[in-house]
Amino acid sequence: MAARSVFRSGLFNGRVAIVTGGATGIGKAITAELLQLGCRVVIASRKSERLEAAVDELSQLIISSSSASITAVCCNIRHEDQVRNMVASTLRQYGRIDYLVNNGGGQFSSPAANMSLKGWNAVIDTNLTGTFLCCREVYNEWMKDHGGTIVNIIADMWRGFPGMAHTGAARAAVENLTKSLAIEWASSGVRINSIAPGSIFSKTAMENYKDLGPMMFQMAVPCIPAKRLGFPEEISPAVCFLLSPAASFISGATLKVDAGQSLYDSVWEIPDHSAWPAPPEGENVCALREVMKELKPKL
């Protein structure tokens, strides 16, 4: 059962949205909320079984008096030809694209030193290049002449992303891409913003990390000021807000939806070590040595 939207029903009547990764987790919650608000939604991702299951489930949210509808297109956002097909088929079906939500993406967990070039490229191609391809195609084929609104889902990479350096680099790049496009496409009436979620639990997000998944999400909890994980239904209202006329003067911005997690603690442990280069000798280093000598016997 999808959470009830706090927005006015009919807010997106007659509008058309593409949501990449719209069949699972955060994307599914975004799709469900857009449908409740009257939007016609195209969900796009790689796995047809997931798309079909989401269409079956989410179409039940549509009440008979609503203009909403849901359809699916198989699309790997890493492939330019498939992105072209996703946009062309949406335009053939609905004749317009008002909103694009670049939510499809992800990564695996690994120390940077162990990442193969293929693994690095898979994550950069998905999260950075895939987002770029979707933005460019939607802009060139529709928004350039008609305006529109784009939301990019990024991540909490504000202090780097140890353990997932590839995705940290890709998401930071998307944040910067968002700013560039906000300026380049302003004269077409295109607004584009990002949302940076904290740790958001869904079954599919957890299963992506296989056996590590439950532990990874559990480990995040003490580092979240709310002392609990977030849920997809806590991201979708922020997306709907940024798509809506309520955000008509907001572009090039990033909204953190993380309960303050990005301001707080890190999961990444740095073991005690003495590997760091010594500081330059001088009066302050001498003074600290003296202080430490005095403190030691008391400890």
Ligand X SMILES: CCCCCCC/C=C/C(=O)SCCNC(=O)CCNC(=O)[C@H](O)C(C)(C)COP(=O)(O)OP(=O)(O)OC[C@H]1O[C@@H](n2cnc3c(N)ncnc32)[C@H](O)[C@@H]1OP(=O)(O)O
Ligand Y SMILES: NC(=O)C1=CN([C@@H]2O[C@H](COP(=O)(O)OP(=O)(O)OC[C@H]3O[C@@H](n4cnc5c(N)ncnc54)[C@H](OP(=O)(O)O)[C@@H]3O)[C@@H](O)[C@H]2O)C=CC1
Smallest separation (angstroms) from ligand X to the CB of 232: 11
Cβ nearer to ligand Y, comparing 150 with 153: 153
Measured at CB, which residue is nearest to ligand X?
Answer: 106
Site for ligand X (CB under 6 A): which residue of 216, 221, 250, 253? 216
Q: Using CB under 6 A as the criterion, what x/- string covers residues 142-161 for binding ligand X?
A: -------------x------
To ligand X, the closest distance from the beta carbon of 95 in angstroms equals 31
Pick the stretch among 29-37, 85-93, 113-121, 180-188 that binds ligand X (CB under 6 A).
113-121
Among 106, 162, 237, 252, interactor with ligand X by CB under 6 A: 106
Q: Which is nearer to ligand Y, 20 or 251 (CB)?
A: 20
Q: Establish if 236 lies at the interface with ligand X (CB under 6 A).
A: no
Nearer to ligand Y, 31 or 149 (CB): 31
How far is the CA of 236 from the CAs of 35, 37, 139, 195, in angstroms? 12, 12, 23, 10
Interaction of residue 219 with ligand X, rule CB under 6 A: yes
252 binds ligand X (CB under 6 A): no
210 vs 298 by CB, closer to ligand X: 210
Residue with tokens 């990033």, as numbered in its chain = 254
